[in-house]
Amino acid sequence: MDKQIIFRVICRCIKNDIIDTCRKWNFLSDGSLQQLNLKKPKIRIAEDVYESCQEEDVDIEAAGDLDLIYSQIHSEGRKWNVCELRGQDKDHFISNPKTFRKLIMSKMKLYFDEVHVNVNMFGGALWSRVHIVDMKHPTVYKPNDVVYMVHYPKTQYVVLSRIKAKDEDNFIEALLPVFKTDEVHSLQLVGSHVSSLVELALNKHSQVRDHLESTGALRRGKIRLQENLTENVKHHLNLKKNLTSDSRDENEDEKKQRTESLDHTFGTADQPTLEKLEYKMDVKFRGTKLVPMMANKDGPFRCRIKFEGPSVLEGIRNLGKAGLASLPLPSHLAKVNSLAKNFFVIRDKSAMNKSQT
């Protein structure tokens, strides 16, 4: 199985990245890496890499380390889900990869017949790879049997890749004693950019992030309150200067008002990378002037709305700056940074009251 893992990683790499990825793996000697011929087809390069590994007595654990390194470098090619550790023992935290691996291994073995765990520290976070072997085909490597996990020490969040439905309950149950927590609760916050997802989760409770920022892992996670105060002071000084001038540009004033409103909502730093916002609407249809045939519809109007793109939050802010979105923004858009979720259900207040009663 170690051969299957190594072949898959090498064949997924861009040719120019193969040597750099293997060097980060720190398993092969520099001499072996220098002998690799990148002009060959990737399947042949993979064979050469595996041959070199045989000289170093490679095993499935070492192959798993290579796969974990590849997943860290290419983490944005995967979908991640943020979970909150509710009821966590605040005095319990682990930052040592070896200790963390040993703990995960011991708990996972209570629920699965064969499991392989790899852990290392990357970007200030503990990255884990948990390979749950399918006992029906124990010699066949299936990428879907692997769960990747990211945890920043001293935070109450863990970021997980997709878990097979049949393994999910046992996997989550095994995590409870690992983190000494009562519940691993999904925040419905899903995306491809791990550090942005963690930043959004931390914003929810306005936690101190100095230990994360010092690692450079959350560079966009600056203290936005200070930035907003600074920008607001600058704006008021500029506004006072404009009021004393003989002439005023109304369009310029409108732009400044929009900028002030958006800076107050989002801050001035680059927005966390979020690729999708999804809304499930369960409300009364209010566009009957445009669609008269809907006037007699008594039931709620149900639909789904999606905002998708490379950076949805930045896109929304740009729409506001361009005057293509009404300001102030609706709360469900303005508060995405602090709500720590990107799936929302919007109902009329009357419908919500009925459901509560």
Least confident interval from 84-93, 223-232, 317-326: 223-232
In this predicted model, what pLDDT tens digit does every residue of 61-76 receive, in sequence order? 999 999 999 999 999 9
Cα 151 to Cα 194, 195, 196, 219: the distances in Å are 10, 11, 13, 17
Least confident interval from 132-146, 166-180, 212-226, 317-331: 212-226
Q: Tokens representing 232? A: 């607001």
Q: For residue 107, which of 30, 39, 12, 171 has the smallest C-alpha distance?
A: 171
pLDDT category of residue 92 using cuts at 50, 70 and 90: confident
Rounded Cα distance between 349 and 331, Å, is: 15
Instruction: Decide which of 235 and 304 is more confident.
Output: 304
Question: Out of 1.10.10, 2.60.40, 3.60.90, 3.90.660, which CATH number does the structure's domain 78-213 have?
Answer: 3.60.90
Provide the 3-class DSSP secondary structure of residue 176. helix
DSSP element (H, E) containing 178: helix 165-179
Which residue do the tokens 């930052």 mark? 95
Q: Average of pLDDT values for 4-30?
A: 95
Phi/psi of residue 165, nearest 5 degrees? -55, -40
Domain with CATH 3.60.90 in the chain: 78-213
Domain with CATH 3.10.20.720 in the chain: 274-357
The whole-number pLDDT of residue 269 equals: 77
The residues, any chain, with a CB within 8 Å of residue 26's CB and separated by 6 or more, are none
Position 214 pLDDT exceeds 90: no
The whole-number pLDDT of residue 221 equals: 38
Q: Average of pLDDT values for 283-311?
A: 79
Position 41 pLDDT exceeds 90: yes
Specify the amino acid at residue 95.
S
Rounded Cα distance between 96 and 93, Å, is: 9
Contact 94, 152 (CB under 8 A): no
Contact 276, 191 (CB under 8 A): yes
pLDDT category of residue 1 using cuts at 50, 70 and 90: confident
Q: Tokens representing 197? A: 């997802």
Question: Out of 3.10.20.720, 3.40.50.300, 3.40.50.2300, 3.40.50.2000, which CATH number does the structure's domain 274-357 have?
Answer: 3.10.20.720
Position 113 pLDDT exceeds 50: yes
Position 219 pLDDT exceeds 60: no
Position 146 pLDDT exceeds 80: yes
